[in-house]
Structure formats: C-alpha cells, structure tokens
Structure 1
Amino acid sequence: AQLADAAFKAGFDTIDAAADAVLPDYERTALQRRLDAWQAEEAMLADRRGESDTALAAARPPAAPDAAEA
C-alpha cells in the first residue's frame, strides 16, 4: 500500500507506470526473474523446514569437527 501511495503522490497512476519511468523493460524483466527465483527458493526452504527429519536435525547439538579429529 505504501508503494502505491508513493507512486500516486509522484504523479503515476500505477506502480507499474512508476517502474516503467525508472527501469527499462529488460531490467524489469531481469529483476522479476530474480524475484521469482528467490520466492521459489523461499517456498522450497519453507517446505524443507516442515519436514520431520529437518526438525530433528535442527534440534541436535551442533557438530564439533575438532572433537572428531582428536
């Protein structure tokens, strides 16, 4: 909502119109791809955190590589 308000106060009808004034299409497309990839990774990690094996591993104490080498 704040972004839309700022765009309107700057004289733009939409957020997209404001973005078009700042970034060329190819840069907006590249940024959208990065955002989409980030959101997909975030969703995958959220699913992974929900797995029981992951929760069990997270509850264990951290590894102690120095002790393993001794």
Structure 2
Amino acid sequence: MAAPVTVYPPDEDGGRRVRLGDAILGRAHGPQDLLALLERAGWEPDEVALDGPLIEWRGGGPAVWRPDGSDRRWPR
C-alpha cells in the first residue's frame, strides 16, 4: 500500500508540493508548513511522524527543503 501523503521534491523556491491521496494540499517550505497543511486536512499534528510510513518523501527526506538537496531553509 502506498503512503497516503506524498511530499514532492523542492522547487526553485524551496517549496515542496504536498498531496494527500488525490488532493493537492498546497506547498510547504518546511516541516511546520507540512504539519499545518496536514492539520487543515484533519490530521492531528502530534500523531504525524515526519519519518514514518504515512509520508512518502520524493527528492529528499524531511530535512531537505532546497532544490540543491541541502537542509538550509530559504529565507522567507
């Protein structure tokens, strides 16, 4: 079974598209953004493990938020 949440690789702005099933939830620019998107979709943030089996990370895991693969966040 596929993970219900897919986090796509960082784009040129450091945002990562987030999909829940067939629905696009939005773009996250860091772990807090991702948790906020999932909370708006009805998930309990304290029950979400960013490195758990419910999230499929593409183009780097929860520490990668730049297109070059580094873990430095973009200034916002």
Larger relative helix fraction = 1
Higher relative contact order (CA 8 A, sep 6+): 2
- Using structure 2 for the length normalisation, give the TM-score: 0.24
Larger relative strand fraction = 2
- Using structure 1 for the length normalisation, give the TM-score: 0.25
Whose Rg is larger? 1
